[in-house]
A and B are shown apart, each in its own frame.
Chain A
Amino acid sequence: MVDSLESLRVQALEDLDTASTPHELEEWRVKYLSRKGEVRKASALVKTVASEERPAFGKSLNELKNQLIESHKLAEERLTEAEFSEELIDITMPGLERRVGRVHPVTQVTEEIVSVFHSLGFTVAEGPEMEDEYHNFDALNVPPEHPSRDDYDTFYVGKGRLLRSHTSPAQIRTMERQKPPVRVVVPGRCFRPDAVDATHYYCFHQIEGLAVDQGVTFGDLRATLTVFAHGLFGSDTKTRFRPSFFPFTEPSAELDISCPFCPGDGSRCPVCKGAGWIELLGCGMVDPNVFEAVGYDPEKYTGWAFGMGIERICMMRYGINDIRLFYGNDLRFLEQF
């Protein structure tokens, strides 16, 4: 009997070894361990065993059954692993090469600024890059043949048209199209025939803002710009307001911010040169002449406006020392943002 059990054991284990798929393993289990399997059949042989040998037989049978169950379990685990690791791969190789592109740094900074103002309720407005004298100068209270025009030399493209020297004409157009209140932020490309060098390029981007309503004040301008400065540079940023002049605002001001780029390790800051403050933007209360030009009653409405250069802010933030890099589009530059 033992021999039969032994030969059953040997046969079962040999068969188990040849099972190489989960399907074959299941066939083996059915053959040996199921209700109609060989182990069950072997237990029927107990009748052929002498009674004093039955306990020993029973014990051997149990051992056999347990061993086969155990071996089945191990075989099952082995095959499950094998199922997944059929083909050996080198998982240390790099993955499928794909690229997510980037947005240009000027666009990135523009979007950040737009986003802060958007959160304050400012709608984005855009205007044409090819403008006329009226919108670029006259409506903005910049008289013809006046020294204040010197700061706004322009490219001309025939038929009294020019390339706008600031995004302010778009503010005029916005006010022509709608009645107050107005709350817009105006990004866009501008042009000045400046000789090209590390800080000047004939093509550049500005972003301006305009808020007009009843009861808008100078104090409101200051407060809103401080909120903006905190939004863009961090809530520790301090602001400083000082008088200036622009033809289209009165009173006019410049806003400085505490330099957010100072290294803080004692070395001289390359951006503020140790002054601790940097010029951020120009602003002011909209000049009544501008309201007259667009048909707003300056007795009823007041407003403020501001403007800043995007490349300049980008250069300060990223330590870019040559404006020409923005227009060279060298991937070694673009990929750093």
Chain B
Amino acid sequence: MHVPVEWLRDYVDFDLEAEDVAKELTAIGLAVESIEDHHLAGPVLEIDVTANRSDCYGVLGLARELAAAIGKEFKMPDLALEESSSKAGDLFTIEVVDADLCPRYTARIVEGVTDCPSPEWMQKRLEGAGLRPISAIVDVTNYVMLEFCQPLHAFDLELLKDKIIVRRAADKEKMTLLDETKLEMNRDNLVIADASGPVALAGVMGGLESEIRPSTSTVLIESAQFERVNVRRTARRNGKSTDSSFRFERGVDPIGVELASRRAAGLIASITGGKVAAGLIDVWATEWNAPQVSMRFARCDKLLGLVIDPDESVKILTGLGLELVERDGEKATFAVPPWREDLTREVDLIEEVVRIHGYHKVPEALTLKIAAAGRNPLYEFKRDCRKMMNSLGYDEAMTDSFVDARGAGKFGFWSGGGPLNVDNPLSSFHNALRDSLIPNLLAAKKNNQDAGADSVSLFEAANVYLRDAAGELDERPVLAMVDDRSFFTSKGSFFTVKGSVEALCDRLGISDVRYFYEENPRDFAHGRFLQLQIGEDTVLGCIGEVSKDIVAAYDLKAAPAVAEIALDVLLSARKTDTALQKIPRFPAVKRDVALIVDGQTKWSVIKMLAKEKRGKYAVDDVKFVSVFEGEPIPAGKKSVALSVLYRADDRTLTDDEVNTVHDEFTAKLAGALSADIRGA
């Protein structure tokens, strides 16, 4: 809301410079964003009016606020009206058909008008407020709209046929607005119509046909109250947000409707030489009664943590236009003026008192008692996971929640439904919610590749959005990573990522992780995908190297590996038993064996057989040491080395004892695998 400082002087006596006026208004809640020195209007304040103060979109409302802030009296403009012998009621008829959408409709008529430019003082103020002066009649309606926060409309009476009817439009009824837009309306739109059809879109904009012309000599001034939700909908659906609809949406003062009408009629008459016909045509469905609200003084003090003298509270509230109805030692009751619809409860009055009293006077008085913060296991767990990922060399990324549903990469692993659609996306590239973090991590990898990064290891711990089995919307916290580091040169990054996931599980004390090799969703490279589970039936997540199609779709230089695991599952599986495990008293002895097996033999098979065949004193699982192919190992075969730990509970084992058991074990294992023992 732009207001020239000079305009405020009509209603409040003050001696302040623009900067000080700005400070006063900001201190009571009307934040002044800027002060512009307008070439015509002088200093103009740009005020950020909050959504609850519809009255502050009018200069009178702002002047009242300033008066309250600086403790001065507020003066209304002179509304005395000289009326002619002509009776407005004889000249025209108003019929309101849909009173639910138009609680009050008033009209005043000014005859013998000769339109002309509006006076300089008015033009300056309009310019300063950001409106363009046109000619007196229209300028007055704009001026009074700004002054009273009451939108008005002026009709050329001679162009109106028979009478005004305030009604809903018929389905598909058409009209042309004064900005030449052609509209097709429906029953949700309220129109001002005459006998031949719509002449204005109520509360929004006038029609082209009844516009004020240079030859207009009889003006009908409309000042009305239109139902705000309907004005808002109508304005939005037709894409017409105007100064008028803006104010109706926020609610106008039902009493101010008449005052603004009087003001406008008086100004038009005095500027254009017209005569105001006597009387107000007024169709008013309901009578307005001032609501009453009470405020308890003790409650005010208690809420604020500050003692305010009740006399001051009463003075502040009456200074804002509330009328004291009654008062005793404990509370005061006020009648709320019609322009302050936002004051309906005691707490609203308390806010008025404290903001005028001064927020800077609110003491800093800590009353919160000392208490320890509670725990939030999932939040703390996410924090721990981030640190663990950092120590494995990953940086945290934060990617968009949106994806393109048509885009490359169906990595949705948690539910079959595909990404959820967004009804009103900002663009077609962001038309769905991600059901996996992987696509956007791949995009982040691509960005970094383009920037010349050698190596990209990123993780993200965030929510994915799903439809669960019952079709209900669900979100899950997951941890995903993308990695292109390679430690086995020709085998890509698969083992890097697998190692990261294993390190996490190991660090969290999760022992029952199982791998499934069966599924091979098309977005992963053939044979390079693993599904992970905890125990029998709890899905943990997946690991895989992306397919060539994905590499091409994202324009990557090489195929990175990715993983995505469910944080809630990981948290539940984490070892929490902290009782000390007995530390073995006697030392363990390590023995290795290298077996030359068929090249297709899987480690999981070797491990399983080793577990079966292991001998006495063997403790823990066998450990993978290394794999070797090439000379001198025969073609089609590989050498797999593993180590075994032996330990007794009651003594230190001798070399001979261990050798005997180990040799027996290696022989059995080699036999089961049809393998040779290397170096034997």
Contacts and interface: CB of A to CB of B under 8 A. Distances in A.
Contacts of B28: 243
Nearest to A326: B398
A189 B289 CA distance: 45
B447 A329 contact: yes
B348 A250 contact: yes
Contacts of B232: 145, 147
Contacts of B233: 145
A329 B397 contact: yes
Contact of A111 (B366, B376, B383): B383
Contact of A250 (B351, B376, B422, B448): B351
A332 B465 CA distance: 29
A130 to B, nearest CB: 5
A327 B365 contact: no
B365 A241 contact: no
A230 B208 CA distance: 61
B29 interface: yes
Contacts of B383: 111
Contacts of B374: 123
Interface stretch (B10-18, B274-282, B453-461): B453-461
A158 B465 CA distance: 13
Contact of B367 (A106, A216, A254, A288): A216
Contact of B400 (A103, A203, A247, A335): A203
Interface in B312-364: 345, 347-348, 350-351, 354-355, 359-360, 362-364
A218 B29 contact: no
Given A183-B368, A288-B347, A219 B362 contact: yes
A177 interface: no
Contact of B421 (A158, A195, A335): A158
A60 B373 CA distance: 85
Contacts of A191: 401
Contacts of B373: 117-124, 183
Given A203-B402, A217-B365, A222-B362, A156 B424 contact: yes
Contact of B395 (A150, A327, A335): A335
A196 B425 CA distance: 13
A121 B371 contact: yes
Contact of A217 (B304, B351, B378, B465): B304
A102 B424 contact: no
Nearest to B477: A126
A222 B363 contact: yes
Contact of B359 (A189, A223, A242, A328): A242
Q: What's the interface size class on A, roughly?
A: 35 or more
Which of under 10, 10 to 19, 20 to 34, or 35 or more describes the interface residues of B? 35 or more
A155 B399 contact: no
Nearest to A155: B422
A161 interface: yes
A100 B475 contact: no
A263 interface: no
Interface string B37-71: 00000000000001111000000000000000000
A269 to B, nearest CB: 18
A171 interface: no
Nearest to B299: A299
A136 interface: no
Given A215-B302, A218-B304, A101 B395 contact: yes
Contacts of B463: 129, 189
Interface of B: 26-29, 31, 50-53, 229, 232-233, 249-250, 302-306, 345, 347-348, 350-351, 354-355, 359-360, 362-376, 378-379, 383, 386-387, 389-402, 420-426, 430, 433, 444, 447-448, 451, 453, 456-459, 462-463, 465, 473, 475
